[in-house]
Each structure stands twice: as C-alpha cells, then as structure tokens.
C-alpha cells in the first residue's frame, strides 16, 4: 500500500520552501521509477528502507541534501519506504546551508558529511519522531532558526528572476541579468551559487517542466504547437532536449508515463 501527502510550509517559510512531501510504501516486490530534473533542491530523510539509484548502482544516503539534477535518475524500492522531504524554492537552499549550492550539483550529499552539528541533530530528531507531524515541526524549527540568522541581499533579485522565468517561455540570460540589476558575469556567478546550476541549464530544465505541464493539461496538443508554446526553436529541438533530460522522446515518454510537472504543479 502506498500513501503520498504534500504539506504546505508555515507562512514565514513559504517564500523559501515550496512544500514538504511524505511517502510511505509497503508494496511487496520491486517498484521502479524514473525521476526527471525538477529545478529544485531537497532535504531528504529516510525513516524506512532506502531507495537504490540504479544508474549509479548505489543506495541513497539515509539523510541527505539532493542537489540540482541535470539528468534523469532511475530508482527502485523493495517496499517499506518512509520518506520525509523538504523541497526548497529554486533559489533559496543556500540560505540554510551556508555554502554555494553549485557544490551539490548532480549529487546526494549525506548530512553526516556536511560537518553541520545542527543539521545532524535534526536528522536524529526526524528518525526518533513519534509521527510525521512532529517530524515536520522539527524541520520547520530548524529552517526558521537558520532563516533568522541569515540576511542574503541577493534573494530579492533572484525572486524576481525566478518569477519572470516562471511566467515567460521566451527569455534570455541578458534579460535576466537586467532584472537582477547585475552584469551578465556577476549574474551567472550569483545564479549558480544560489540555484546550483548555470542559468542556461536551469532554463532548459524549466523548459522541460513547462513541456510536461502543457502535456498534463492539454494532452491532445500537437508537438509543433507544444514546441512553440514551451520556447523551443522547433519540434526537432524539443524532441532532442526532451530525450536528453528524460531518456525518452516525448512520444515514448507518453507511452510509459502520465506527464506531470513537479515544478509547475506546485508553484
């Protein structure tokens, strides 16, 4: 049996945390899933068995920070999964970890390797929590304490940039730098430190997520129209990019999965 819940953060954290999700799965037998880049980093706690990342041939750490992913990942479970995950807004994870999050790109960094006593203490509290509500409360207390001790003047700049990216399928790095009131060189450095990947790669990931969103809400759309609405140069460009990030052409993907955008479904 599988249960999945999304929990909204407290209002003070909403500008920084998109949501929390909790997954419990005691299904017997192997369950496999392909995950695509979402444009967001996460803080992940396993309270049950861990997932195996098959394309890396490794188990996920028990508690870890999941950096920006730039490709698809295949994971499998054998049941008895219990996960609690905090999903950050695209540009806010750096506030809570005091490091350039470009260091986390395409990596799952175990909390024990962070040399962060407060974060390690949080992981132990999550493991010992009597229920999920207490666990979420512990996460929020930790995040709020970090938020109060940090004053990052780049967050308002990047908030405006992310808002523009979300609302516009057609944009470019120069225009984003202008919104941030930074030179292109400064903008690319600040963007990478806070979001975990380059502006170019992030725009490609969000274009993928926009494609999934359009397919989710307009399943009958033609691929030529789809490529135009999502900001690709043409249909062949869309197919090439989609396969790069998902391992499938759009047609192949639709034969295997129902299209769901993790990014645009929860903005």
Q: Which helix (H) or strand (E) holds 7?
A: strand 2-7
Residue 229 CB neighbour total at 10 angstroms: 14
Task: Tell whether the torsion through CA atoms of 38, 42, 47 and 49 is positive or negative.
Answer: positive
Find out whether 202 and 195 touch, Cβ atoms under 8 Å.
yes
CA angle in degrees (0–180, nearest 5) for 222-223-228: 105
Residue 162 CB neighbour total at 10 angstroms: 23
* Phi, psi at 103, each rounded to 5°: -65, -20
Q: Provide the pLDDT for residue 79.
A: 77
Q: Provide the pLDDT for residue 150.
A: 67
Nearest to residue 165, comparing CAs of 117, 114, 205, 113? Answer: 205
Three-state DSSP class for residue 81 = strand
The predicted model scores a pTM of 0.95
| CA 127/CA 156 separation, integer angstroms | 34
Q: Provide the pLDDT for residue 267.
A: 67
Nearest to residue 198, comparing CAs of 173, 174, 215? Answer: 173
Q: Provide the pLDDT for residue 28.
A: 73
Structure tokens at 118: 């407060």
Give the pLDDT of the chain (267 residues) as one tens digit per residue: 789 999 999 999 999 999 999 999 987 778 889 999 999 999 999 999 999 999 888 999 999 999 999 999 999 987 799 999 999 999 999 999 989 999 999 999 999 999 999 999 999 999 999 999 999 999 999 999 998 776 788 999 999 999 999 999 999 999 999 999 999 999 999 999 999 999 999 999 999 999 999 999 999 999 999 999 999 999 999 999 999 999 999 999 999 999 999 999 876
* 173 contacts: CB under 8 Å, gap ≥ 6: 184, 187, 188, 199, 200
- Label residues 240-265 b or e (16+ Cβ within 10 Å = b): ebbeebbbbebeebeeeeeeebbbbe
Q: Which helix (H) or strand (E) holds 133?
A: helix 132-148
């Amino acid at each position: 049996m599988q249960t999945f819940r999304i929990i909204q953060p407290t209002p003070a954290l909403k500008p920084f945390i998109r949501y929390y999700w909790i997954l419990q799965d005691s299904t017997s037998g192997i369950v496999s899933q392909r995950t695509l880049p979402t444009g967001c980093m996460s803080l992940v706690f396993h309270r049950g068995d861990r997932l195996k990342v098959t394309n890396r041939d490794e188990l996920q750490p028990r508690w870890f920070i999941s950096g920006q992913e730039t490709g698809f990942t295949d994971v499998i479970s054998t049941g008895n999964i219990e996960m609690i995950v905090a999903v950050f807004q695209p540009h806010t994870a750096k506030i809570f970890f005091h490091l350039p999050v470009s260091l986390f790109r395409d990596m799952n960094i175990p909390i024990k390797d962070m040399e962060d006593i407060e974060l390690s203490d949080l992981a132990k509290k999550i493991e010992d929590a009597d229920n999920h509500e207490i666990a979420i409360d512990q996460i929020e207390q930790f995040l709020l304490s970090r938020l109060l001790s940090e004053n990052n003047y780049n967050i308002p700049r990047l908030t405006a940039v992310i808002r523009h990216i979300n609302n516009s399928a057609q944009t470019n790095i120069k225009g984003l730098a202008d919104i941030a009131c930074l030179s292109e060189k400064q903008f690319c450095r600040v963007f990478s430190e806070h979001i975990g990947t380059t502006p170019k790669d992030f725009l490609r990931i969000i274009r993928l997520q926009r494609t999934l969103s359009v397919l989710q809400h307009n399943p009958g759309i033609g691929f030529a129209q789809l490529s135009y609405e999502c900001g690709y140069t043409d249909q062949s460009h869309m197919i090439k990019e989609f396969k790069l990030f998902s391992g499938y052409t759009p047609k192949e993907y639709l034969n295997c999965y129902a299209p769901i955008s993790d990014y645009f479904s929860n903005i």
